[in-house]
Structure 1
């Protein structure tokens, strides 16, 4: 007996705990929905919509709805008192005037709300665009470009759709339904009660279908963002796809997304296929009830024919807004999902470009002191790096691929912050300078030499906040040895370079990048494998251009080809994130085994043993 009681008590406690957990989940969900509402409203408030225009639009929309509520009463009086002798031009003119006023008010309110919606989404996209440009490089390391583009275009479009297209229908629909029901109860409460009894029956079927539609819509948005990512990735690297014969692979990958989108579309179609007939069934049931029951009351004298006609018109004013309200809530749920993703971007930590001091004296040594760095949730890329770069000197960073050389450049440009250690310019940590002032010191020429879609002039002048004269442009092109090939082009500096400069050769792109750096007149120059992908003829020309660029500047070079850095003031050898040697070319030949091996292979030193002779002699 005691055992049974204990068992029952345990079961009861378990059930209570389960109920408590379920209630807790419901409370959390309720709080989450409230937070989502608030996040959405705060997002809209931050776009600063025109309150007077919004108020006027809502007033006109409400006025239009109220006028629509009066029309059935006019119709009732017209039907009840209809005869040719009683029909006057003033009645016809009055009804016509009401229709015209309602149409104008409704049209103006729709235009104004659309204008407000368009303005809100424009401000929202402006905020997002501004934010995307000041997000740190680490954000783009962790987020795919296609998804970010989808947030900027698709998700903001969902917000606009809710405000411009569905909000009006929601508010006017509520007014229309409430107003119609009040008038109907005033006219005949018994018939109104019978009519409204059908609506809960319809809700039993329509509410679950609405929830299902929301889930499908949310999945469709996520899948659309993934599909956008695939398209962006493949089409931006179409030459890689074709050179790798990867068309079939990418077709299969894209086709899976298309099939997934098709699947969501079918699910949406199935739900709509249930909703539409159910709505039609409800409307027909209501009409049958009103006409049948109303006809009985008309014949008994409890209701006039005009009142029956008014009932049918008010029924339409109840049923039509109900579909609008249902659509609003479905769209609102979509918008909540879009808002979460937009707010996630807007709340992301951004770079501060203005805080800090300006750089008064750039001609000071750069000191890297015990710097370590690891990417988020990754192993250390750099460990306890220390070296010094003297002003107006050339420092070369060499070593095997994957050693952390490019990461070191990223730290110098403050794309990332060191996880340990300090980088200084003279006595000042580089973090004490404003980002804008610090990055203004640098000229950067990389292996890829990225160009923007536009003209050669656009690319050479890119990033400058001043007007560049034709003489300056020609001088920069001449020093970069770019003037010859630019002069041979039909449109000269106005020649379109194509997406990412694809219409130009590698050497031409490099020389345009050098011309761009020359116009910036940087104090510190960083060259990242600037000649590694060029043929020997282009390399000679680019090397000459680089000499012009490096003159009188502090230069830091990453190079795999030792022939480009043998004359550097100091060479730093980086292996697996640590510095294993530093000195001049001659010093490293004697003291660093792996550097000597690199030099033997690349500089064709046929007798490596001879390298150590000066050391032995000394």
Structure 2
């Protein structure tokens, strides 16, 4: 619903309340905290009446010790109850936000890859950290004063009506006029804070992208370009911050003016009533004290309302994330035996409607054999791998393991039977052992790790490192060479012992020496497994059991190297160019 429509604010409040309620806050803790807050406020409402009695009958002889004790006791009770209430609401707020972050984190991990194709990582990180921090700030810092302020204002008004309804009506005539001014300012603050949160997310995205690729920035002499991009974000944040400051600078003086006007009117009009005998001096003192108990909470309520508007704005993105369609990690059955042929039947796929990446692809991958996919860049080879991994769902068509569609199996079971080694060899920040064991859902012995590393030809360079398997690889594995990262990725795949293997140009970015070692490790990995290989270097797949040639999203040829070389013109041209350069051209 459009937030600018009449029902917009109410809808936003309901969404915010529903989101908080879904975190299942402790009702007992909330009720106890509110009761203590009410008790604290109730005590504060009684204190002016003590003062009234003291003023009206103030003589040394009239002062009873019990009155002083009761007044002191009231102050102590108020302080303890107020402190406990704030503490409990703080704990409640921390738990709510922790639960909210937990839900978001859990949701982000089960969202499909297509979600991350459309949303920048830095923006998502900012939303989870910065936006939840805004909600946390409101709950832990402003909710207690929000509730106690409302109770104090309402309670004070009730007592003031009892003391002198005429002066109270004068107050009630002034306050609504201020509210008419403050309400549109609150709406404006909502828009500004939402824009500020969006801009913060964009700026975080820039920081994340630039700092994660700082080597590229420096190698390309792009520091000035990236500075200008970041500077635009900083300037935009400054602009929103100034707008926020303008609204706050208007709200604060209005509140001060209203409160001072009230104080002057009450003192002036109250003095006249005291002089006429309609009001006692004690009544006027109590009236002024109650007025202060309205003025102070009103200022706090204004600030709390502003923070509430920010919190409501911050929840918009969280709600949209939580409502996103996620991968089905529950449905489906376990795979009992993945040692079966895989058949691809009439697969079509498009990221955008009308722009097909794959068109009517059909082939069979024999069990335990090597099937290679070659073809020009941009033909859809990597997309096909993503469909095999079930990162994407085909527009139409089906993939089967044996006679069973792979969608009948649970995602976890299907992916657990796949070993994937890509060109980039992604590593996580941690030790070499952490990376080899990454994704294993069981305890792994050191012997298993060392055996996987040996078969991946990674044990040699690991033993040469000062900390061996406990060596830190750095963020994205930056402390290791490309060949070393590839061998760790292969060791990881070996440790998983998958029955299906997918290699996405696993040696294309390596030097010739590293390629030879990595290829030997891959040969160990491929033994006895159903293997699907993407390769630009035909020299690495000429001995494949089956080669598929894909161009412009269509399968235009399949067969052995010799068959395609003699009967597929474009493959012939590919092979002729590459294998002649390497002196490996095979003639039949």
TM class by smaller structure = over 0.9
Q: How does 1:245-256 map to 2 (within 5 A)?
A: 245-256=221-232
Distance 1:404 1:25, change over 3 A: closer
Q: Report the Cα offset of residue 378 of structure 1.
A: 5.5
Deviates more, 1:80-89 or 1:383-392: 80-89
- Give the alignment partner of residue 481 of structure 1, picking from 435, 457, 474: 457
Which secondary structure does the structure 2 equivalent of 1:292 belong to? helix
Which secondary structure does the structure 1 equivalent of 2:361 belong to? strand
Which secondary structure does the structure 1 equivalent of 2:573 belong to? helix
Distance 1:609 1:85, change over 3 A: closer
Q: Report the Cα offset of residue 118 of structure 1.
A: 0.7
Which secondary structure does the structure 2 equivalent of 1:283 belong to? helix
2:401 equivalent to 1:414: no
Do the aligned partners of 1:525 and 1:553 also contact (CA within 8 Å) in 2? Answer: yes
Rounded Cα–Cα distance in structure 1 between residues aligned with 2:122 and 2:581? 49
Equivalent residue, structure 1, for 2:181 = 205
Unpaired segments of 5 or more residues in structure 1? 1-23
Q: How does 1:89-488 map to 2 (within 5 A)?
A: 89-377=65-353, 379-488=355-464
Equivalent residue, structure 2, for 1:600 = 576
Distance 1:608 1:462, change over 3 A: closer
Do the aligned partners of 1:600 and 1:606 also contact (CA within 8 Å) in 2? Answer: no
Rounded Cα–Cα distance in structure 2 between residues aligned with 1:513 and 1:103? 61
Rounded Cα–Cα distance in structure 2 between residues aligned with 1:216 and 1:363? 58
Q: Report the Cα offset of residue 184 of structure 1.
A: 1.2
- Give the alignment partner of residue 557 of structure 1, picking from 530, 533, 550: 533
Rounded Cα–Cα distance in structure 1 between residues aligned with 2:535 and 2:161? 86
Do the aligned partners of 1:136 and 1:351 also contact (CA within 8 Å) in 2? Answer: yes
Distance 1:535 1:609, change over 3 A: closer
2:470 equivalent to 1:494: yes
> How many pairs are equivalent?
588
CA shift digits 1:134-185 (9 cap, x unpaired): 1111111111112211221122222223322323223222221121112112
CA shift digits 1:472-493 (9 cap, x unpaired): 1111111111111110111111
Q: Report the Cα offset of residue 76 of structure 1.
A: 0.9
Rounded Cα–Cα distance in structure 1 between residues aligned with 2:291 and 2:493? 72
Q: Report the Cα offset of residue 608 of structure 1.
A: 12
The CA RMSD measured in Å over matched residues stands at 2.0
CA shift digits 1:256-285 (9 cap, x unpaired): 111011111111222222222222222222
Q: Report the Cα offset of residue 210 of structure 1.
A: 2.7
2:43 equivalent to 1:47: no
CA shift digits 1:449-501 (9 cap, x unpaired): 00000010100000001111111111111111111111011111111100000
Rounded Cα–Cα distance in structure 2 between residues aligned with 1:610 and 1:419? 39
Do the aligned partners of 2:575 and 2:585 also contact (CA within 8 Å) in 1? Answer: no
Rounded Cα–Cα distance in structure 2 between residues aligned with 1:369 and 1:81? 97
Do the aligned partners of 1:489 and 1:495 also contact (CA within 8 Å) in 2? Answer: yes
Q: How does 1:510-549 map to 2 (within 5 A)?
A: 510-549=486-525
CA shift digits 1:327-378 (9 cap, x unpaired): 3333333222222211111111111123112212211111111111111345
Rounded Cα–Cα distance in structure 2 between residues aligned with 1:369 and 1:514? 30
Do the aligned partners of 1:600 and 1:608 also contact (CA within 8 Å) in 2? Answer: no
Q: Report the Cα offset of residue 532 of structure 1.
A: 0.5
Distance 1:411 1:436, change over 3 A: same
Which secondary structure does the structure 2 equivalent of 1:408 belong to? helix
Do the aligned partners of 1:403 and 1:575 also contact (CA within 8 Å) in 2? Answer: yes
Q: Report the Cα offset of residue 206 of structure 1.
A: 2.9
Do the aligned partners of 1:170 and 1:324 also contact (CA within 8 Å) in 2? Answer: yes
Rounded Cα–Cα distance in structure 2 between residues aligned with 1:466 and 1:604? 48
Rounded Cα–Cα distance in structure 1 between residues aligned with 2:8 and 2:353? 29
Rounded Cα–Cα distance in structure 2 between residues aligned with 1:609 and 1:550? 24
Q: So what's the TM-score if we normalise by structure 2?
A: 0.96
Rounded Cα–Cα distance in structure 1 between residues aligned with 2:218 and 2:260? 59
Unpaired segments of 5 or more residues in structure 2? none
Distance 1:179 1:99, change over 3 A: same
Q: Report the Cα offset of residue 114 of structure 1.
A: 0.9
Which secondary structure does the structure 2 equivalent of 1:375 belong to? strand
Distance 1:378 1:95, change over 3 A: farther
Deviates more, 1:54-63 or 1:338-347: 338-347
Distance 1:449 1:608, change over 3 A: closer
Equivalent residue, structure 2, for 1:72 = 48
- Give the alignment partner of residue 575 of structure 1, picking from 523, 545, 551: 551
Q: So what's the TM-score if we normalise by structure 1?
A: 0.92
Deviates more, 1:424-433 or 1:181-190: 181-190
Rounded Cα–Cα distance in structure 1 between residues aligned with 2:144 and 2:392? 47
